[in-house]
C-alpha cells in the first residue's frame, strides 16, 4: 500500500470560539448550593433570634415578678412593654407594632387557649397602663401567670 492509496483527511483544528453553555458540573453544583446555603443561614438566624427573645423575656418577667419595690401600676406598665417587645421580635413588625386596644388583645389571645386577654385578667393590657391610677381589683399574680403562659405558647408555636 502506497501513500496514494490511503484516503487520509486533512487535519481539522477546533473552533477558536468556545461556548459558555452548557456550564461545567461545578457551576451547576454552585447554583444549587448557594441558594440553599442562603436559605439555611436565614432560617438559622430567625431561629436563634426567636429563642434569644423568648429567653430574655422570661428572665425579665422573673425580675418583674420578684421586684418588691415596684408598685402594681409600674409592674403593669413593664409587663405590657415586655409583651409588646416580644410580640414585635417574634412576629412580623408590620403585623404587630400597630395593634392597639381590642385588636391587640385578640392578637394575644390567638396563641393561648380560650380568651384570657380579651375577656379575662389580660383586659388591662388594652389601656390600663395609660390610666393615672392603678386598677384596684387587679390581681398581679394572675396577670404574671398569664404572661408566663403566653410566653410558653410562643415557644411552642414556632
Q: How many residues does the chain have?
A: 158
pLDDT band with cut points at 50, 70 and 90 for residue 73: confident
- Rounded to whole angstroms, the Cα distance separating 50 from 65 reads 22
- Rounded to whole angstroms, the Cα distance separating 90 from 53 reads 7
pLDDT in tens, 17-56: 777 788 889 999 999 999 999 999 999 998 888 888 889 9
Q: Which pLDDT score, from 0 to 100, does residue 146 have? A: 93
- Rounded to whole angstroms, the Cα distance separating 25 from 20 reads 12
pLDDT in tens, 108-117: 999 888 889 9
How crowded is residue 77: how many other Cβ atoms within 10 Å of its Cβ?
17
pTM over 0.75? The answer is: no
Which letter, b or e, does each residue of 56-71 get, where b requires 16 or more Cβ atoms within 10 Å of its Cβ? ebbebbeebbeeeebe
22 preceded by cis ω (within 30°)? yes
Domain boundaries, the chain: 52-157
Q: Which pLDDT score, from 0 to 100, does residue 81 have? A: 92
Q: Which pLDDT score, from 0 to 100, does residue 46 have? A: 86
For every residue of 84-153, DSSP letters joined together read HHHHHHHS-HHHHTT--HHHHHHHHHTTSSS-TTTSSGGGHHHHGGGSSS--TT--HHHHHHHHHHHHHH
Q: Which pLDDT score, from 0 to 100, does residue 134 have? A: 65
Mean pLDDT of the chain: 87
User: Is 1 a residue whose pLDDT tops 60?
Assistant: no
pLDDT band with cut points at 50, 70 and 90 for residue 128: confident
Amino acid at each position: 500500500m502506497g501513500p496514494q492509496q490511503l484516503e487520509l483527511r486533512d487535519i481539522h483544528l477546533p473552533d477558536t470560539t468556545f461556548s459558555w453553555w452548557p456550564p461545567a458540573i461545578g457551576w451547576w453544583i454552585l447554583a444549587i448550593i448557594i441558594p440553599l446555603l442562603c436559605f439555611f443561614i436565614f432560617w438559622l438566624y430567625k431561629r436563634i433570634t426567636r429563642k434569644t427573645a423568648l429567653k430574655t423575656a422570661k428572665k425579665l418577667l422573673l425580675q418583674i415578678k420578684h421586684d418588691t419595690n415596684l408598685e402594681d401600676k409600674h409592674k403593669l406598665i413593664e409587663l405590657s412593654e415586655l409583651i409588646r417587645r416580644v410580640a414585635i421580635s417574634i412576629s412580623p413588625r408590620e403585623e404587630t407594632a400597630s395593634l392597639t386596644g381590642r385588636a391587640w388583645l385578640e392578637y394575644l389571645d390567638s396563641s393561648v387557649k380560650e380568651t384570657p386577654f380579651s375577656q379575662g385578667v389580660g383586659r388591662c393590657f388594652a389601656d390600663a397602663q395609660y390610666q393615672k391610677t392603678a386598677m384596684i381589683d387587679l390581681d398581679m399574680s394572675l396577670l404574671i401567670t398569664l404572661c408566663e403562659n403566653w410566653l410558653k405558647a410562643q415557644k411552642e408555636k414556632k
